[in-house]
Amino acid sequence: MENILPPIELHVCMGLNSCQHQGYSGKNACAGMGDCATVLHPCHTVNECKGQGGCGLFGTTEEFCIPSQNECRYQGSCGAPILDSRFVTQGPNRGTSVWQLARKRFEQKRAASQLPVGPPPAGPYGPSNAYINQLKGQDPAYDNAMCGQSGSKECSYAADPKARAEAAQQRVRQMVEESARRMPDILKNCSCVEH
Amino acid sequence: MMPHKLFAIPPVVTPANFAEVMQQAIALELATIPTYLSTYYSILRAQDQDDLYAKLLKQLAAAPGASEVDITQLAQELKVDILVYANKAAALIMSVAIEEMLHMALVCNIKQAIVGPPDLLSINKVLVFPTQLDGHEPEFTINAAKLSLAQLATFLQIESPQPFKDPADPRELLQAVKYKTIGQLYLDIQQCIRVNYPGPYADRPQLTSSSPSSARHRPYYAQNSINTVYYDREHKPQFGGSSDSGHLVGIVDAHSAVKAIDEIMDQGEGNTKDDQSLLHFGPDKMPIPLPVVDGKVQFKSGDYDDKSKEELSHFAKFLELYSLGVHYQQKFARIGGLADFFSYFVHDQAPNPKQADYEVVGTPAGLALASRLGNAIFTYILLMIEACYYADEDTQFRVFMYGVHKSMIWLLSGVGNSIRGYSYAKGTQTYAGALTFEYFDFANYAGNTLLTPKEQILGLVEELAAADAPHWGWMTLPENSVYWPSLPDVRLDHRVAPYVPAIPA
């Protein structure tokens, strides 16, 4: 693994960085193309700074509508990085992708400032567990999903490990594709909550 | 051990006893929290499924008669039975515990609005397990205990929507005697409020949110979290509570006070409806379970606390767990070679453990210290909640979110889960450690009257980290200062000391 530059900007996940060379590896050419989170924290109320809260696992319906957009320290919900498998657990958007909503919020913020944003390196649905392990040179079996005391989120009960992985991937795939289709409704639900 | 009587449900509620009755209602809601959390922390929610499968396979193979194909399929089925039930039981118990916290806050708001702030520490002082709701008819004992059918039977008695007959008293099976439930107490409180306290009430701090249209809207309460999620047999997430099953209500007059109590009764105690499942006891003096068909419990329309039938009432949730528990316990008992169903995922914790049990010579030092820390953080949570009723909204928000939320989700939970890793001897038995939920006397701990509650907590953290570094050393690492050191600094007189955490460079 090549040297990783010290992060300049602290952000919660792949594709949510503001500037060039501010992803985990420092090699991204543009905003929105950062390869991984530059902060790592397990959950609700334990983030260090503004904009470092992930979302989906603990928090209010309102907080879940603004993943990584929290105003202040300790006001983020949930762990960073945000894997593709993470789903919102509370409110009308429960069961849908946290990463996709965070990405959409990021794009809205950039657009509001008339700033460009590039495509996320791991694709439109967010980083998988395998992506993060490969990027960080970790054991492929390492589980980056935090707050695991409620059972692994990226799992199935199949007896055969290969079948288990395939079943889990298929289930996550269904969730992220469904979330992409429902994004207009997800944003509308948040709009209702915010007003 | 003789149960400790917590308080008396009064025969009538009047202005003369209203303040005391509200304290009793707060005590009732507060008592359910350590009761349910004790059981929650006994459950192993997410064990290694391959290890479990191997264990089941080995047990099945040792029993004569079954073919290899049969036992591999059977082991897989039993594995999923265990994993799904364990996670579901934990999720549903946590969903009820969270709603009890909401109920406690609502009752605290009512008391604050009408007669003055709640006193939670005095309840903490007298809440000793086993306990009884004195005056509840029939009386029954409440233990802080691991998950079992007996413990679920107790939960059913707590949440029973209608009066039930005491299975232990043969006289009551023969005579028609008038009984009281918690719901009837709340009806009496509502009536007293309507007649004597129409409002408007004085503007005092409450735990509530300003309206969503307000620029100051910062909600405190969330019904669901990852801890109320469980996975079905296809590993699809299921949610323990509906999306909008309750809210904090600002109490300004009789209408809002009555509405808040309606919310409590709709979700839990006193949810009386037509066509609902009720608590009946069988000849074995245990509740009669609901039928289980194709692995699913058969409910009635009145078992739900919302029109969309998304969420079961507290009673129905526990009845579901009880019915499934009976179903699986009988299933496992019929199959040769297997252990008791609950033994696969429930830590063997002693009922009503005490700090004194952990101070016995020969017991690991970490266990006594972890228990003390657990008690300190639980009492501190109650102190922080009390402080919210004396503070401006900004201070209240900081204390509640960064103190109470952090403490419940991370600190108390962390100790509650980790303490299970210790074992100790009591009599001839060996048990796993468990939180004791005893009152922590910050005013007089170790004779110290100078240190603040937070300083005492941090002192315990350091002591525990030093005594058992492999398990607790992480707590004192600088990079983990977001946990214990960043707690708000709340004093015993409810002042919140200014505290600005350092921002990393």
Q: Give the span between the Cα atoms of B349 and B100, in whole angstroms.
A: 24
For the record, the structure tokens of B421 come out as: 């890793």
3-state SS, one letter per residue, for B80-118 = HHHHHHHHHHHHHHHHHHHHHHHHHHHHHHHHHHHCCCC
Residue A22, C-beta contacts closer than 8 angstroms, at least 6 positions apart: A7, A8, A9, A11, A28, A34, A38
Return the DSSP state at A109: H
From the number of C-beta atoms within 10 Å of its C-beta (0-12, 13-18, 19+), residue B171 rates as exposed
What pLDDT sits at residue A121?
A: 80
Q: What is the pLDDT of residues A31-81, one digit of tens each?
A: 555 555 554 444 444 444 444 444 566 777 777 787 755 544 444 444 566
Q: Give the span between the Cα atoms of A36 and A17, in whole angstroms.
A: 9
Do B155 and B141 form a contact (C-beta atoms < 8 A)? no
For the record, the structure tokens of B133 come out as: 């709701």
* CB-CB neighbors (< 8 A) of B57 in chain A: none
Query: What DSSP string runs through B246-273?
Result: -------SHHHHHHHHHHHHHHSTT---
What pLDDT sits at residue B264?
A: 87
Mutate to test the interface with B, among A89, A155, A179, A195 (most CBs of B within 10 A): A89
Beta-strand relationship, B131-134 and B4-8: parallel
Do A66 and B234 form a contact (C-beta atoms < 8 A)? no
Percentage of chain A exceeding pLDDT 70: 56
A166 close contact with B: CB closer than 8 A: no
Helix (H, G, I), strand (E, B) or coil at B304: strand
What pLDDT sits at residue B178?
A: 37
Residues of A (18-47) whose Cβ lies below 8 Å from B: 41, 43-47
Q: What is the pLDDT of residues A120-138, one digit of tens each?
A: 888 899 888 888 888 888 8
* CB-CB neighbors (< 8 A) of B84 in chain A: 157
Q: Which residues does residue B30 pair with via DSSP β-bridges, in sequence order?
A: none
Q: Say if the Cβ atoms of B220 and A60 lie within 8 Å.
A: yes
Q: Say if the Cβ atoms of A60 and B409 lie within 8 Å.
A: no
Separation in Å, CA B94 to CA A142, B230, B338, B388:
28, 11, 29, 24
Alpha-helical regions (H) of B42-67: 49-62
Nearest by CB to B417, which of A43, A149, A153? A149
Do B389 and B108 form a contact (C-beta atoms < 8 A)? yes
Q: Say if the Cβ atoms of A155 and B80 lie within 8 Å.
A: no
Q: Say if the Cβ atoms of A87 and B237 lie within 8 Å.
A: yes
Q: State yes or no: pLDDT of A179 exceeds 60.
A: yes
Q: Give the span between the Cα atoms of B33 and B55, in whole angstroms.
A: 34
What pLDDT sits at residue A14?
A: 52
Q: Give the span between the Cα atoms of B33 and B306, in whole angstroms.
A: 23
Alpha-helical regions (H) of B115-148: 121-126
* CB-CB neighbors (< 8 A) of A94 in chain B: 224, 239, 243
Mutate to test the interface with A, among B225, B406, B418 (most CBs of A within 10 A): B225
Among B98, B86, B89, B93, residue whose Cα is nearest residue B45:
B86
Higher per-residue confidence, A143 vs B20? B20
Count Cβ atoms below 10 Å from residue B485 Cβ, excluding itself.
17
Helix (H, G, I), strand (E, B) or coil at A96: coil
Return the DSSP state at B409: I
3-state SS, one letter per residue, for B386-398 = HHHCCCCHHHHHH
Dihedral sign (CA B167, B171, B173, B176): negative
Nearest CA in chain A to B82: A157
Nearest by CB to B226, which of A58, A155, A193? A58
A62 close contact with B: CB closer than 8 A: yes
Q: Say if the Cβ atoms of B405 and A159 lie within 8 Å.
A: no
Q: Give the span between the Cα atoms of B379 and B382, in whole angstroms.
A: 5
Domain spans of chain A, in order of start: 1-195
Centroid of chain to Cα B352: 15
Tell me the backbone φ, ψ of residue B229, rounded to 5 degrees. -95, 140
Rg value, chain A, Cα: 16
Nearest by CB to B226, which of A75, A92, A150? A150
Count Cβ atoms below 10 Å from residue B477 Cβ, excluding itself.
10
Q: Give the span between the Cα atoms of B221 and B425, in whole angstroms.
A: 40
Q: Spell out the per-residue pLDDT of chain B, length 505, in tens.
A: 555 555 566 678 999 999 999 998 999 899 999 999 999 999 999 888 999 999 999 999 988 776 766 899 999 999 999 999 999 999 999 999 999 999 999 999 999 999 999 999 999 999 999 998 655 566 788 999 999 999 999 999 988 877 666 665 554 443 333 346 677 888 899 999 999 999 999 999 999 876 666 666 667 777 888 889 999 998 888 988 877 667 888 999 999 999 999 988 877 665 566 788 889 999 999 999 999 999 999 998 888 876 667 788 899 999 999 999 999 999 999 998 999 999 999 999 999 999 999 999 989 999 999 999 999 999 999 999 999 999 988 888 888 888 898 888 788 998 999 999 999 999 999 999 999 999 999 998 777 677 999 999 999 999 999 999 999 998 888 877 778 888 899 999 999 998 655 444 4
Shortest distance between the Cα of B70 and any Cα of chain A, in A, equals 14
Q: Give the span between the Cα atoms of B103 and B81, in whole angstroms.
A: 33
Shortest distance between the Cα of B198 and any Cα of chain A, in A, equals 31
Q: Say if the Cβ atoms of B409 and A167 lie within 8 Å.
A: no
Do A93 and B243 form a contact (C-beta atoms < 8 A)? no
Nearest by CB to A58, which of B225, B235, B236? B225
Q: State yes or no: pLDDT of A141 exceeds 80.
A: no
What pLDDT sits at residue B145?
A: 98
Q: Say if the Cβ atoms of A155 and B503 lie within 8 Å.
A: no
Count Cβ atoms below 10 Å from residue B177 Cβ, excluding itself.
13
Return the DSSP state at B480: G
Q: Say if the Cβ atoms of A157 and B80 lie within 8 Å.
A: yes
For the record, the structure tokens of B310 come out as: 């998304």
